[in-house]
């Protein structure tokens, strides 16, 4: 079974006779707007861990929920009471960080990665 996911952001609501309606119908003939669609601002929605900034020229960013999930997993891994050596802990964190940064490398907001780096260094000094 093959699933295709996509998001279409429109500046205004597409009327049935507009070209947007035709494009949506041709892209996905099984499109069911009443059951599968959500109307909201792009910066309030997330898709596959990404969202958008609220600017005139929106940028792709890491969603806040993904950042929270990252920090929660990092906190669990760096607990002092976990009973792991520092080398084992760093090996696990290294794999996790490489995968996470590889997945979110498409994000256009670099400040998130700078803040994450600062937070990670602080957290590692603690444990």
Q: pLDDT per residue over 104-121, tens digit each?
A: 888 888 888 999 999 999
At 97 the pLDDT is 92
DSSP 8-class letter at 14:
P
| Residue range 17-68, pLDDT digits in tens | 566 566 656 655 555 555 555 666 666 677 778 887 787 787 888 888 999 9
Taking alpha carbons only, the member of 39, 28, 104, 20 closest to residue 70 is 104
**Euclidean distance between CA atoms 62 and 46, whole angstroms:** 9
Question: What is the token pair recorded at 117?
Answer: 């780096």
pLDDT, the chain, mean: 78
* Residues 6+ away with beta carbon under 8 Å from 29: none
pTM of this structure: 0.65
């Amino acid at each position: 079974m093959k699933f295709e996911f996509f998001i279409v952001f429109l500046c205004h609501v597409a009327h049935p006779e507009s070209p947007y309606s035709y494009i949506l119908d041709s892209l996905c003939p099984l499109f069911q707007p009443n059951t599968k669609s959500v109307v909201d601002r792009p910066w309030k929605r997330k898709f596959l861990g990404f969202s958008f900034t609220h600017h005139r020229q929106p940028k792709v960013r890491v969603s806040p929920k993904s950042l929270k999930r990252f920090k929660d997993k990092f906190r669990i891994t760096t607990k002092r009471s976990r009973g792991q050596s520092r080398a084992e802990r760093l090996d696990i964190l290294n794999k996790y960080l490489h995968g996470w940064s590889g997945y979110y490398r498409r994000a256009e907001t670099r400040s998130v990665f700078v803040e994450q780096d600062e937070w990670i260094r602080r957290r590692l000094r603690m444990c």
